[in-house]
Chains A and B, each alone.
Chain A
Amino acid sequence: MPVNDQPIIRRATRNDTPLIARTIWLAEHTGIELYSYGSLFDLSYETFIKRFSELLKNDEPGHGLTWKSFWIAEINHEAAGCVALYREGENGSSSLLMTGLLMEHFTRQEVASAFAKLEAFRSVHIVQTNGNYQLDSGATFAPHHGKRIFGSIFNHAYKELSMEHPAVVEAQVWMKNDHAKKVYVGLGFIERYQKEYNASGMGRLLMTKEPIQ
């Protein structure tokens, strides 16, 4: 039987939330991150997948913690990658939406403890621009690395969304994540500005891509 390596890209559904949770975990745990949901909430991989699979089932659009913001690539009916793209402000501030969502699924004490840790990294916080697309969590799953899956999903999703609202895309990366920077440059992004956390080069970098003409 011939093997077809061409990905089929589709919108995620509510049933995909375990896969999306895995994507967020992989995207966040690069080894050079200052923080992640896992570290802020003290969650093991197993607990993270369980709790975020539930949390991601929410239907509110316009932020990075809903199945509605994700696209999935499949090769031979197997998930090869997953990427989030949403427009900031389409449903209010994405960070406030996510705060409410976290308060729905975690206790006040858990959220307060997580945000107290986050406060230590406030200096690297980059505010999303209202109206711009946000390229958020994304990952390619083994054994599909090297097949340009991430770029295929992004281009598909951006083209689909741009037909209705052409706008700049923003991507935030950890300054030391050279692999992500290279991928984004290959997709047409340019480096805008960075916010350093310390002198060792830890911090956050904003990259943007101009709208499709």
Chain B
Amino acid sequence: MYEELTQIFRDVFADPSLEINRSTTAAQVRGWDSITHLKLIVTIEEVLGISFTGFEIMRMQNVGDMLDLIEQKRRS
């Protein structure tokens, strides 16, 4: 899952060398603003076949929160 998410980040941010980890936040990634966030969420939903609610998106404080939520959705 971590590799899949990393690839999505690299595609959305158009940066093939982008590295993320569980503690990565928006403040640490150049260009991670509201517009890119929307693209990121929509891409994750499309590629992984899951769907987030807006409130779930609001509670994603870092990549770790994102990974946990994706895994939870894929299990259910």
Contacts and interface: CB of A to CB of B under 8 A. Distances in A.
Interface of A: 58, 60, 89, 92-93, 95-105, 108, 111-112, 115, 118-119, 122, 125, 127, 130
B37 interface: yes
Interface residues of B, number: 21
Nearest to A91: B61
A104 B58 contact: yes
B38 interface: yes
Interface of B: 25-27, 32-35, 37-38, 41-42, 52-61
Given A92-B25, A93-B26, A108-B42, A101 B54 contact: yes
Nearest to A89: B27
Given A92-B25, A99-B57, A104-B53, A127 B33 contact: yes
A contact face: mostly helix, strand, loop, or mixed: helix
Contacts of A130: 27
Contacts of B60: 92, 96, 100
Residue from A93, A99, A127 having most chain B Cβ neighbours under 10 A: A99
